[in-house]
Amino acid sequence: MKETIEKEITRGGEFVVKETQSENIFTPEDFSDEQKMMRDAVKEFADREIWSKKEEFEKKNFQLTLDVMKKAGELGFLGVGVPEEYGGLGMSFTSTMLVCDYISGSSGSTSTAFGAHTGIGTMPILLYGNEEQKNKYVPKLASGEHFGAYCLTEPGAGSDANSGKTKAVLSKDKSHYLISGQKIWISNAGFADILTVFAKIEDDKNLTAFIVPIDNLVGNEGDGFKIAMNALNIGRIKLAAAALDAERRIINSSINYSKERVQFNTKISEFGAIREKVATMATDIYVGESATYRAAKDIEDRIKILEDSGKNHQEAELKGVEEYVIECSMLKVAISEDLQNIADQGIQIFGGMGYSKETPMESAWRDARIARIYEGTNEINRLVAIGMLIKKGMKGHVDLISKAESVADELTGIPSFEIPDLSGVFKEEKIILKNLKKIFLMLCGAGMKKFGLDIEKEQEVLMSISDIMIKIYLSESAILRTEKNCNRYGEENQKGQIAMTQLYLYQSVELISNKAKELIISLSNSEEQKFLLMGLKRFTKYFNYPKPLELKRKIAKMVIDNNSYCF
Ligand SMILES: Cc1cc2nc3c(=O)[nH]c(=O)nc-3n(C[C@H](O)[C@H](O)[C@H](O)COP(=O)(O)OP(=O)(O)OC[C@H]3O[C@@H](n4cnc5c(N)ncnc54)[C@H](O)[C@@H]3O)c2cc1C
């Protein structure tokens, strides 16, 4: 029997103007028994085959990566999201994210090989290939008999991928294309059997995708840029998932070390300076998980709705992911940067040993660093996220305009001095969240008023607005996850989670406040400035401040007493 989706689904980017109910989001606590079994199997595999051989991986033992990929294929991990008719397990989008999360944390080498193969190496063929191409290539990619690579970047065409110069020329007898050009930085190129190569046919303006070595055109002529970008959207959200277990492993190693290392006759885990780092690391992991799995399930539900409306799986998956381009880009930015910070804190906890190759921190930092560059740099992804939202606003797909007008009206009105009912978990936090969205709308309105459509040239402005949007999405995801779990397990059970959510929101308010102030004082004249700064003050107001140090102490105690990240 077909399962129907009854909950209300927030469309891509709509969270900035809409309130989401906690019962309508997916949280990591909602995984089914089957998914938990899959997670445990993947984790056991990663511990046994990758983590325990980390030193060997670090010696660039290339064969080891290949062996692990083969074994992952034998266990079905390479084809989790591939439909059964093409040799995969046909599991849901969230299941593919779960596998990606737990297989990727132990080594940067396998993480990249796995991500490139299952994401950008397989998806263009699965999503855009014709039946013959899918039958021919996908089962071998899903089983690990063949490996895939995605060849877009060229020496002269990185972020500006559509400017690539690789050419495809049709042979005189029209039997094949001759592709010539240069590609660079292609993950898995050293061992891949099937390459998706992006090239321009003759003098076309746009790229076309080919399966190489046997020249095959994927999709239609000129569709290559669209194919490349859509494959990247999936890659971006998977990259966010891939960073999560790396973060858990870093915090766990750091806690273990801090409990063994003694200085001043004291275990360093007892120093507040160390405990504060552990608390912040745990908070970022918890919030990242909340946002990643929320978005993953939104995508999965959208795919299902599209399938129910008659689209085939291929079209439905394409459109489903496309709908959440904004979320995919935001997650890629936020979690790759969290991973970097967490790895950096990990090094600090290990002290001099953290700087040495003898401990896993040095490689964790190095591995984390690439996540901010590939799958579109974080600058490009910040611009994509806000640019796409503005486009959706102009088209009326997200009601930015009238909501921004309402905020402007509210600013000219007399503020209420009534103290709202703040009893109950997250009453105050939810008011603040609503107000943060108003700040976002206020800045979008002010930016559009000043620059009009030329705002797309104002990158510093867009970057800051994008950062504000990212903090709102992550804070909201944590609030909704914790609220949902408080409702089912009770507040007592969620003490640590409540503390992390409050801490993250408090820190987000501070960051948003600074970024917004910088924009307001840089962009507005003195009259507007007064008015917007008053709005900013009103919208960042806490009735009762949380006590950040107390929250950090509570979180650190839970994680350190438990010897590992325990949420
Ligand atoms: C280890 C590794 C693996 C990779 N794997 C693959 C792969 O499998 N397949 C593949 O096709 N590619 C791959 N890449 C390439 C990767 O996607 C590119 O490196 C990335 O897109 C950036 O391009 P670039 O290096 O040319 O930097 P550039 O585009 O030259 O960027 C340099 C700087 O300028 C900034 N910048 C550029 N344009 C803008 C703009 N419009 N606005 C604001 N800032 C801008 C960037 O954000 C960056 O900070 C990989 C790269 C590495 C290092």
Active site members? 375
Residue 540 Cβ inside 6 Å of ligand 1? The answer reads: no
Q: Compute, in angstroms, the gap from residue 341 CA to the centroid of ligand 1.
A: 21
Ranking 356-365, 510-519, 553-562 by mean pLDDT, the lowest is 356-365
pLDDT of residue 215: 86
Q: Does 214 have pLDDT greater than 70? A: no
Cα 374 to averaged position of ligand 1 atoms, centre (Å): 6
Mutate to test the pocket of ligand 1, among 60, 111, 151, 153 (most ligand atoms within 8 A of CB): 153
**Residue 458 in contact with ligand 1 by CB distance below 6 A:** no
Helix (H, G, I), strand (E, B) or coil at 208: strand
CB atoms within 10 A of CB 24: 17
Nearest Cα residue to 215 out of 179, 188, 181:
179
> Is the beta carbon of 116 within 6 A of some atom in ligand 1?
yes
When the pLDDT of each residue in the chain is averaged and rounded to a whole number, the result is: 94
What sign results for the dihedral spanned by CA atoms 453, 458, 464, 466? positive
What pLDDT score does 246 carry? 97
Q: 545-552 — which CB contacts under 8 Å span 24+ positions?
A: 545/506, 546/502, 546/503, 546/506, 548/503, 548/506, 548/507, 551/279, 551/499, 551/500, 551/502, 551/503, 551/506, 552/275, 552/276, 552/279, 552/280, 552/503
Which of 374, 383, 386 is the best mutation target for the ligand 1 pocket, counting ligand atoms within 8 Å of the beta carbon and taking the most? Answer: 374
pLDDT at 470 over 90: yes
| List of E strands, 260-324 | 262-263, 266-267
Quick: pLDDT tens for 11-23: 999 999 999 999 9
pLDDT in tens, 49-89: 999 998 898 888 889 999 999 999 999 999 999 999 999 99
Rounded to an integer, the average pLDDT of 31-41 is: 96
Closest ligand 1 atom to residue 380 Cα is 47
Among protein residues, the one with the nearest Cα to ligand 1's atom 9 is 186
CB 360 within 8 A of CB 253: yes
What is the DSSP pairing of strand 148-151 with strand 194-201? parallel
Nearest CA to ligand 1 atom 31: 159
Question: Which pTM was predicted?
Answer: 0.95
pLDDT tens for 215-273 read 877 888 888 888 888 888 999 999 999 999 999 999 999 999 999 999 999 999 999 99
350 CA to centre of ligand 1 in angstroms: 31
Nearest atom (ligand 1) to Cα of 112? 3
Cα–Cα distance measured from residue 485 to residue 501, given in angstroms and rounded to the nearest whole number? 12
User: Is any ligand 1 atom within 6 A of the Cβ of residue 159?
Assistant: yes
Helices assigned H by DSSP within 452-525: 459-489, 495-523
| Nearest partner of 351 among 273, 245, 282, 283, judged by Cα | 273
370 lines ligand 1 (CB under 6 A): yes
Closest atom, ligand 1, to C-alpha of 377 = 47
Predicted local distance difference test score (pLDDT) of residue 5:
66
Compute the C-alpha angle 521/523/526, nearest 5°. 60
Ligand 1 centre from 161 Cα, in Å?
9
User: Ligand 1: which atom is nearest the Cα of residue 378?
Assistant: 47
* Percentage of the chain lying above the pLDDT 70 cut: 98
3-state helix, strand, coil in the chain (%, to 5): 70, 5, 25
By C-alpha distance, which of 185, 183, 174 is closest to 215? 174
Q: Kindly state the average pLDDT of the residues 522-542.
A: 93
Residue 213 is predicted with a pLDDT of: 62
Q: What is the mean pLDDT of residues 362-373?
A: 96
Whether ligand 1 lies within 6 angstroms of the CB of 151 is answered as yes
pLDDT reported for residue 1: 40
Residue 3 pLDDT > 60: no
Evaluate if residue 2 carries a pLDDT over 50.
no
Pocket test for ligand 1, best of 377, 381, 461 (most atoms within 8 A of CB): 377
498 C-alpha to ligand 1 centroid (Å):
38
Atom 25 of ligand 1 has which residue's CA nearest to it? 158
pLDDT for the residue 4 = 56
CB 556 within 8 A of CB 283: no
What's the 542 CA to ligand 1 centre distance in angstroms?
Answer: 41
User: Does residue 152's CB lie within 6 angstroms of at least one atom of ligand 1?
Assistant: yes
DSSP 8-state code for residue 218: E
Centre of ligand 1 from the C-alpha of residue 377, in Å: 6
377 Cβ inside 6 Å of ligand 1: yes
User: Atom 38 in ligand 1: which residue has the minimum CA distance?
Assistant: 159
Q: How far is the CA of 373 from the centre of ligand 1 (A)?
A: 6
User: Does pLDDT of 547 surpass 70?
Assistant: yes
- pLDDT at position 471: 98
Task: Answer yes or no: is the C-beta of 227 below 6 A from any ligand 1 atom.
Answer: no
| H or E, element range at 299 | helix 272-308
Q: What is the pLDDT of residue 6?
A: 63
Q: How far is the CA of 148 from the centre of ligand 1 (A)?
A: 20
Ligand 1 lined by 186 (C-beta under 6 Å): yes
